[in-house]
Amino acid sequence: MAGVSTQDNGDGDPRRAIELLWGVPAPPRRGPKPKLTTADVVRAAVALADADGIDAVTIRRVAEQLGVSPMAIYTYVPGRAELLDLMIDHAHGELPAPRPGLGWRAALTAIAEHQWALFHRHPWLLQVTTSRSALGPHSFAKYEHELAAVEGIGLDDVEMDAVVSLVTGLVRTTARSSVDQARLVRVSGMTDAQWWERAAPVLAGIPAADAAHYPLSSRVGTAAGQAHNAAENPAHAFRFGLARVLDGIETLVSERQR
C-alpha cells in the first residue's frame, strides 16, 4: 500500500453509480462503437490500486493504463467516486459463499477468513469508506451470505446485523494492522525483530524505563514479543479475537434457547 490516506467515495452520483453497478444501460450516444467496457476500466483501476495504492487511482492514470485519453474514460464512468464504488463491488465478487451445511460458527469463521485474505490481496479496500458505497450485486451477495450464517439461531434482525458488523469490523481492524505492519517492513527495510534489536539497548540504558517501574508491561510485553517475535501479531489478534467474539455470540444464543 503506497499510501495510508482514507478515501471518501460517497460524494458521487448515487443514481448513476447504482445504474452502473447493476448494468442499467446509459442512453445511447452517437459516434463510433466504444473500444472498451466499463468492466475493462474497473479491472484496470483495481490493478492500479493493487500495485500503487488507492491514491494512484485517477482518471488520468487509468486512461494511461488502457491507452486512451482521460476524456474517453468518462464515456464509461462519470467520475472517480463512482469508479471507487465499482471497484469495491468488483473486489467483493471474489468472496465465495460459505459451504452449505456449515454451522453458524463455522460459517462465520469461513466468512471472516475469506475477508481477511481479501484485504491482503487488495489492501486499498482498507483505505476507502464503505458506509455510503452504492451497493452492487456482489456487495449485496456478501451481506446476504453474512446474514445467512446467523439466520434462525435465535437472534432478531437487528441483532443479526450487529453480529455481522462485529465480525466484519474485527476483520477490518486487524487486517489494517497487518497491512500496516507489512508496509512498515517494506518502507524501513527492517522486520519488527530487527527494529527492536536496535531499540532495546537504547531503552535499557534509560533508568526511568527500567522494568521495576513498569513490571506488568515488562513481563507481558516480553512474553508476547517472544511468542510472536514482534511487538504485535495481527494474525494472532484476528483469530484470537474472532474466537472470543464467537464465544460471546454462542453465550447469547444459548441464553435465548434456555
Domain boundaries, the chain: 14-92, 104-257
Top-confidence range, 1-5, 180-184, 203-207: 180-184
Average per-residue pLDDT for the chain: 90
87-111 tens-digit pLDDT? 999 999 999 999 999 999 999 999 9
Q: What is the pLDDT of residue 5?
A: 58
Q: Please report which confidence band the pLDDT of residue 2 belongs to, taking 50, 70 and 90 as the band edges.
A: very low
Rounded distance, CA 98 to CA 113, Å?
11
> Region 70-85: what's the mean pLDDT?
94
Of the listed ranges 56-60, 93-97, 191-195, the one predicted with least confidence: 191-195
Residue 132 · residue 10 · CB < 8 Å: yes
Locate 106 and state its grid cell.
Answer: 463455522
Domain 104-257, CATH: 1.10.357.10
112-150 tens-digit pLDDT? 999 999 999 999 999 998 766 778 999 999 999 999 999
Does residue 1 carry a pLDDT above 60?
no
Task: Return the SS3 of 2.
Answer: coil
> Region 192-205: what's the mean pLDDT?
82
- Report the 10 Å Cβ neighbour count for 133: 21
> Region 172-180: what's the mean pLDDT?
97
Rounded distance, CA 120 to CA 102, Å?
25
Residue 112 · residue 170 · CB < 8 Å: yes
**Cα pseudo-dihedral 15, 17, 19, 25, rounded to 10:** 120
Q: Which CATH superfamily is domain 14-92 in?
A: Homeodomain-like (1.10.10.60)
Residue 128 has φ and ψ, to the nearest 5°, of -110, 140
Asked whether the CA dihedral 122, 123, 125, 128 is positive or negative, the reply is negative
